[in-house]
Chain A
């Protein structure tokens, strides 16, 4: 399964990085190029999520769960892959639901920031995957310099887990509140 996973991950990586480029083009360009980029964007995002989900599933079959969940680099790769998939699924859903409205007001700049975070996430995921198959890059040193020893598992303490969950719930609540006020 390892070889299939390596082949398959190229698709979501290319599609998601391409999507980030399209978001950038749309944010900085309201002309024909920007609109063309926006029309292509959902295709890139949705295909990226589909291929990403397939690659993720195949990736789970590369090693036994016991090995994957006991190996720091395996854990890290799965963590960033999970977050990347969830993150770009969010972007895909948002683009499909919101359409052109994404590019007005504050949302426009939020999308730009989100695409940057997405590129970083996918980049880290790919880097860790490369390490797992013996292809080392300097990106690992950059992450170390930023404070993450990539040969150690990325996990947060219970307080941070609770904070992240609370923040998620609060943000969802803010969104629901905004929706109700709109309906009213």
Chain B
């Protein structure tokens, strides 16, 4: 038995290391809806982009994989005499698989210099809706200088300052294509990010189909036009309602709601009415409308180079250089559960990360020359956090070192997830160091004592 002590100890030591290896990284990173935590199964998604322009119009074409087409946003389902809302935003994917797919692009002309270096991270201020420590009121993306203090979501700069910032171009243009709320009308939502994420002047392409006084929809499908007054829940869940059907309440197929129609359990009416957008908010068209085919969305957006609304939009010029960052929502997600890109340089007729090609004619003839961009799930990394002592690169940010110099999308997605569990992981990491040192020490004692015994013998 005594001769066996060293081999036994060696086996225990190596076995301990093997168990450590086999079990590492488990037990902490789990979904917790109560804390607004839901980690997607897939952490990175490829996005393909093309850009082209003629004398008047800028075109972008986006293509990305999506297992299912998210063409519905929230809906109203008739159940036992009541209309129930389904498909609203939740942490992660909506359990019914309803919540529209989207592609979004933030665009700047250099007026927000941090955007070129850090992209959308600068818009993630403290207190944003969907964060674990979200503010008691809904706070959307905003730019740092619109607040008096970093990390103080409610300490707004004076209105005069806000107006001057806007005058100076301190805002991001936001092109926001929505699979349910804008695409059926052939538009994207033209928005911007400044003091908040807001729509440009004018009217959006969607409204809410709900009469809260009567607890019923305002409109329904026109049976004479579509053949039905409502969709069926089972058909939607089975994927039987496609873009080839009439699935959205566009004006041409909508009629006032009739409560006497003999509604059946499982009847579905979209909770959003669609309409022609107006004003500056209607600047971005989706010519041909985005289509989902064979597991991929293919979306083209078009906007005038100069919209005539420099307080809402970034005006584009031939041979100009700009900064863009992309994001998509898929798998019935909303809010912060998107995939984002690092900032990219956009050159109109100039070499850049994404080079827009000039063409003659009304529509670009897209070649198969895509720019491949890796999107990633960003976790809960806020701009105040990145500028705090908890971020080892805060000094580099102060010096203006771009995020791409030190980080890749693959790295950032794992870092972003760990931020969501930082305290738990730190504790477990310290315990792991301690346990490893004890294992080594225990083996050291066994090793030395058993060899000493051999010497003594």
Contact = CB atoms under 8 A, between A and B. Distances in A.
B399 to A, nearest CB: 14
Contacts of A171: 9, 12-13, 439, 442-443, 445-446
A79 B429 contact: yes
A167 B8 CA distance: 11
Interface string B379-399: 000000000011110100000
A154 B434 CA distance: 13
A168 B406 contact: no
A58 to B, nearest CB: 16
Interface stretch (B121-129, B323-331, B334-342, B447-455): B447-455
Max chain B CB contacts within 10 Å: which of A70, A146, A152?
A70
By DSSP majority rule, is chain B's interface helix, strand, loop, or mixed?
Answer: helix
B454 A105 contact: yes
B136 interface: no
A5 interface: no
Interface string B81-122: 000000000000000000000000000000000000000000
Nearest to A109: B10
Interface in A53-99: 63-64, 66-72, 74-75, 78-79, 82-83, 86-87, 90, 93-94, 97-98
B445 A175 contact: yes
Contact of B414 (A146, A149, A172, A177): A149
A164 B443 CA distance: 11
A113 interface: yes
Nearest to B410: A151
Contact of B436 (A72, A86, A93, A176): A86
B79 interface: no
A174 B5 contact: yes
Query: What range describes how many residues of A lie at the interface?
Result: 35 or more
Interface string B1-39: 011011111101111110111111111100000000000
A176 B2 CA distance: 11
Interface in B20-79: 20-28
B8 to A, nearest CB: 7
A109 to B, nearest CB: 9
Contacts of A156: 19-20, 23-24, 26, 428, 431-432, 435
Contact of B450 (A86, A152, A175): A175
B392 to A, nearest CB: 4
B263 interface: no
Contacts of A78: 433
A116 B454 CA distance: 24
A170 B9 CA distance: 9
Given A163-B19, A182-B453, A93 B444 contact: yes
A105 B437 CA distance: 26
A149 B426 contact: no
Contacts of A155: 24-25, 28, 425, 428-429, 431-432
B353 interface: no
A158 B439 contact: no
Nearest to B406: A134
A79 B432 contact: yes
Nearest to A136: B408
Contacts of A167: 12-13, 15-16, 439, 442
A172 to B, nearest CB: 4
B438 A165 contact: yes
Contacts of A113: 10, 14
A33 interface: no
28 contacts: A67-B389, A67-B390, A68-B392, A79-B433, A79-B436, A90-B444, A93-B444, A101-B455, A104-B454, A105-B454, A134-B405, A151-B415, A152-B414, A154-B25, A155-B28, A155-B425, A155-B429, A157-B27, A159-B23, A160-B435, A161-B435, A167-B442, A170-B442, A171-B13, A174-B9, A175-B446, A175-B449, A175-B450
Top 7 closest pairs, chain A to chain B, by CB = A168-B442, A175-B449, A175-B446, A157-B27, A164-B435, A151-B414, A171-B442
Interface of B: 2-3, 5-10, 12-17, 19-28, 389-392, 394, 405-406, 410-411, 414-415, 417-419, 422, 425-426, 428-457
